[in-house]
Amino acid sequence: MKQLFYKYQGTGNDFVMIDNRLGVFDKSNTQLIAHLCNRRTGVGADGLILLESQPSYDFKMVYFNADGNESTMCGNGGRCIVAFARFLEIIDGDTKFLAIDGPHKAHISEAYVELKMQDVSTITSTDNYHLLDTGSPHYVALKSGLDTIDMNAEGAKIRNSNPFSATGINVNFAEKMDDATFSVRTYERGVEAETLSCGTGVTAVAIAMFHSNQTASTSIKLETQGGVLQVRFEPLPSLYSEVWLCGPTKQVFKAELEW
């Protein structure tokens, strides 16, 4: 069987992207999806994303982790699928689409995508870390000497520890660069390794740093290994609203799958 696909990346977070509006791709084939995401024997990606038709929306986003399992929201994947939808001429500048965590609005100008994330109402904080869900569950800790950390080892240790081992958690370490800038490194569950960037991760870092009084800014620059993202939000008494994840996207190539 043959299938046209595209490769997209957003600040180094890369995805196999497939137009599945005709519903021909087998979403239950976990082994195939994992194979396609494998960097040695397949295409290579942090995840696979299907663009599907959805009544009352411009499209639907279905996201799979690199292990082949359907997963929770992916922020950079959400930005990339907006760029893909524009390439397919489904949308122009503004869009509303459906993902696993609910509806999302977005705006694209050239290759720069601003994606509205879900409101965040619950943050659990300890002396050492913060837990919050920005479409996917995240652990956020402030660290110094971020460049020297073995992120795969430290991230895996936390991800597989109690009480996170059952469902897993994404692990983010952040270092404050100035009052409105943080450097971020992320270990992603499902990929089970450090990724160059994580959209829901930097969103979690931005909100956690404001929540813990590390910054007074509501528009925060996040420097990842794959590039720079911007997160802005509106803090309300009981939640964080108008959460927007902003950054560049790029179509890397298109090709044909055969299996």
Q: What share of the chain is helix, strand, coil (3-state, %, to 5)?
A: 20, 45, 40
> Please, which residues bridge with residue 229 across strands?
222
Beta-strand relationship, 181-188 and 219-224: parallel
Determine whether 198 is an active site residue: yes
CATH number of 2-115+249-258: 3.10.310.10
Query: Do 123-246 and 2-115+249-258 have the same topology in CATH?
Result: yes
Q: What is the DSSP string of 4-39?
A: EEEEEEETTEEEEEEE-TT--S-TT-HHHHHHHH-T
**What is the Cα 95 distance to its own chain's centre?**
18
Peptide linkage before 163 cis (omega within 30 of 0): yes
Q: Which architecture characterizes domain 123-246 according to CATH?
A: Roll (3.10)
Per-residue pLDDT of the chain (259 residues; tens, 9 = 90+): 788 999 999 999 999 999 999 999 999 999 999 999 999 999 999 999 999 999 999 999 999 999 999 999 999 999 999 999 999 999 999 999 999 999 999 999 999 999 999 999 999 999 999 999 999 999 999 999 999 999 999 999 999 999 898 889 999 999 999 999 999 999 999 999 999 999 999 999 999 999 999 999 999 999 999 999 999 999 999 999 999 999 999 999 999 988 7
φ, ψ for residue 74 (rounded to 5)?
-120, 115
Catalytic residue among 37, 74, 80, 246: 74
- At 205, the amino acid letter reads V
> What's the confidence (pLDDT) of residue 61?
98
Query: What pTM does this model have?
Result: 0.95
Q: Is 57:85 a contact under the CB 8 Å cutoff?
A: no
Domain boundaries, the chain: 2-115+249-258, 123-246
Neighbours of 201 (CB within 10 A): 32
Q: Which CB contacts under 8 angstroms, 24+ apart, belong to 117-121?
A: 117/73, 117/75, 117/200, 117/203, 117/243, 117/244, 117/245, 118/73, 118/243, 119/239, 119/240, 119/241, 119/243, 120/207, 120/233, 120/239, 120/240, 120/243, 121/238, 121/239, 121/240
| Cβ-based burial of 91 (10 A; exposed 0-12, middle 13-18, buried ≥19) | buried
Q: What angle do CA 209, 225, 73 make, to 5 degrees?
A: 65
Q: Can you tell me the distance from the alpha carbon of 232 to that of 51, in angstroms, rounded to the nearest whole number?
A: 26
> What's the confidence (pLDDT) of residue 166?
85
Determine whether 74 is an active site residue: yes
> What's the confidence (pLDDT) of residue 148?
97
Neighbours of 40 (CB within 10 A): 5
> What's the confidence (pLDDT) of residue 165?
85
Q: What is the H or E stretch that residue 207 is in?
A: helix 199-211
> What's the confidence (pLDDT) of residue 170?
97
Catalytic residue among 37, 80, 198, 246: 198
